[in-house]
Amino acid sequence: MYDRQTSGYWSQMLERAINGPSIFSVPDKIQVVETTMETWSNMYPDSQIMSELTGFSRDYSQYPYGNYRSNQNLLFLVNNIGDSRLHRKARVVGVTNKEEARAYLITEFESGVEVINDYISDMQVVVAGSSFDDFGVVYSRQLQDCTVLEFEAVENSLPIVMKDNEGNEWDIFGVAQSGP
């Protein structure tokens, strides 16, 4: 990410500024769900979207960067040139804790909703995703009182994606929508 006000760069993977006056600063985090417009519209049919009337002559129905998503070329240099474990632009949902990190490929989730109860270092997490609906999210499984929940998938109920062992149903944003 590039900060136009300070001409600084921010590393998405390191979660901090890597140069400029904000170096080593950590940005505030906001919840984001990246998915297709079709999946979003199925979950939230009353959503309002921005107008395509932007004052620019652009075909918003077409991806504007050609084959950039599928080729191996990058706009910025990285220090993992020899790492071929994944395609350089593979979409993942990732989580880091202390010195450990894990990435879950969106394309490797089941076509329905898949839920993985996992841990990263000493942090209990739940990962939910779907290759068909093209999303992946990760949340802590530990409540403020230190209770660790176990989750299972909820099928055909988007935006509800999982249910915990206490009977709560959770949406794609990690918010309990029903239950005790």
H, E, C per residue of 59-94: CCCCCCCCCCCCCCCCCCCCCCCCCCCCCCCCCEEE
Encoded amino acid at 78, one letter: V
Q: pLDDT tens digits, residue range 91-111?
A: 999 888 888 989 999 999 999
Which residues are paired to 94 by β-bridges? 103
Which residues are paired to 163 by β-bridges? 152, 169
Q: Is residue 113 in a domain?
A: yes
Q: Is residue 100 in a domain?
A: yes
Residue 149 has pLDDT above 80, yes or no: yes
Write out the two tokens for 66.
């050609």
- CA 16 vs. chain centroid, Å, equals 17
User: Does the bond joining 159 to the residue before it have cis omega, within 30 degrees of 0?
Assistant: yes
CB 59 within 8 A of CB 40: no
Residue 40 has pLDDT above 90, yes or no: yes
Q: Is residue 125 in a domain?
A: yes
Which residues are paired to 162 by β-bridges? 153, 170
Q: Is residue 25 in a domain?
A: no
The three-class DSSP label of residue 43 is: helix
Nearest to 92 by CA among 104, 101, 84, 80: 104
Residue 15 has pLDDT above 90, yes or no: no
Encoded amino acid at 176, one letter: A
Q: Is residue 75 in a domain?
A: yes
Per-residue pLDDT, 12: 79
Nearest to 117 by CA among 91, 140, 146: 140
The count of domains in the chain is 1
- Domain interval for residue 136: 57-178
CB 15 within 8 A of CB 4: no
pLDDT over 90 for what percent of the chain?
A: 62
Q: Is residue 18 in a domain?
A: no
Q: pLDDT tens digits, residue range 54-86?
A: 888 888 888 888 999 899 888 877 777 788 899
Q: Is residue 24 in a domain?
A: no
Q: Is residue 23 in a domain?
A: no
